[in-house]
A and B are shown apart, each in its own frame.
Chain A
């Protein structure tokens, strides 16, 4: 599970950096406000992260091992959503 938490953090940072850069370059939103995504954007970002985590878990053959430890993908998705919401809240506090 630690590896998944780290994976979500890296993905979240990457996707925020990419969307923030795109928002500044294309729309002209000033930095660091460009890092804050809309509620729909946040939901989309979380959905992408869940999808990538699922694909990566399959690719790394982690699903059966984690299932044997009692972790369902639903439970893992809740961890992913919780972590993303925490990161989103922290970002909003940091940017102000």
Chain B
């Protein structure tokens, strides 16, 4: 398998839930220093593919490799020890604990370097003493990305980070993802906010009918007539 150059690569992934085939030969990859964005309609299988790549779900078939090493029976804890971080769509942080507790747990495991900077970059200083349960969706995602910035993972998989966020929060979070990529991380993300995601992405993958298509750069995606017609819609304006 040619995995050189890819930080994370999930290839030929298939997954069924009961009789429903969610993924068939889908692929996902991330390259160091680049933001890869997975776009697709609801129910196309984006979250399932990201969960499999992150080791949260088992694939029925297919191969996942991290830095060229094929990971048999890979799981999130094992991948995390090799430098991967996964931020799910719903909840990375636990509602029962304070924001500070999460940062402390991260510091205990990976050291405290970068924590103060992450707090300042994601503007979460006023939230440190609050329990996560009392935060809004946008604040929770800011906390999640502050944890990611502090962790400085080699690979970050973040599922639909911009969902239900204000435009200001969307921009701040998108910039945080771009910052992580500029620091050398392979960032893999997904969502529907194509305009914002195009502004930070290097590679666009289109997830449709349980499989994925490499569309290319955002500029190439805009020129891709089928992608425009079937996903973005004829009214879409990147500006």
A-B contact pairs, 6 of them (CB 8 A): A60-B94, A64-B91, A67-B76, A69-B109, A70-B77, A70-B81
The DSSP consensus for interface residues of chain B is mixed
Contact B86 A72 (CB under 8 A): no
CB-contact partner of A60 in B76, B77, B96, under 8 A: B96
Residues of A within 8 A of B (CB): 1, 3, 60-62, 64-72, 75
On chain A, the residues within 8 Å of B110 by CB distance are 69
User: B residues within 8 Å of A by Cβ?
Assistant: 56, 75-78, 80-81, 85-86, 88, 90-97, 102, 105-106, 109-110, 151
Task: Using known A-B contacts A64-B76, A64-B86, A75-B77, determine if residue A69 contacts B96 with beta carbons closer than 8 Å.
Answer: no
List, in ascending order, chain A residues with CB within 8 A of B91's CB.
61, 64
Q: Which of B76, B88, B90, B92 has the most CB of A within 10 A?
A: B76
Whether the Cβ atoms of A64 and B92 lie closer than 8 Å is yes
A61 to chain B, nearest CB (A): 4
Contacts of A70 in B (CB 8 A): 77-78, 80-81, 109
Inter-chain pairs besides A64-B86, A64-B92, 14 sampled, C-beta below 8 Å? A1-B105, A60-B95, A60-B96, A61-B95, A64-B56, A64-B88, A68-B76, A68-B86, A68-B92, A69-B106, A69-B109, A69-B110, A70-B109, A72-B77
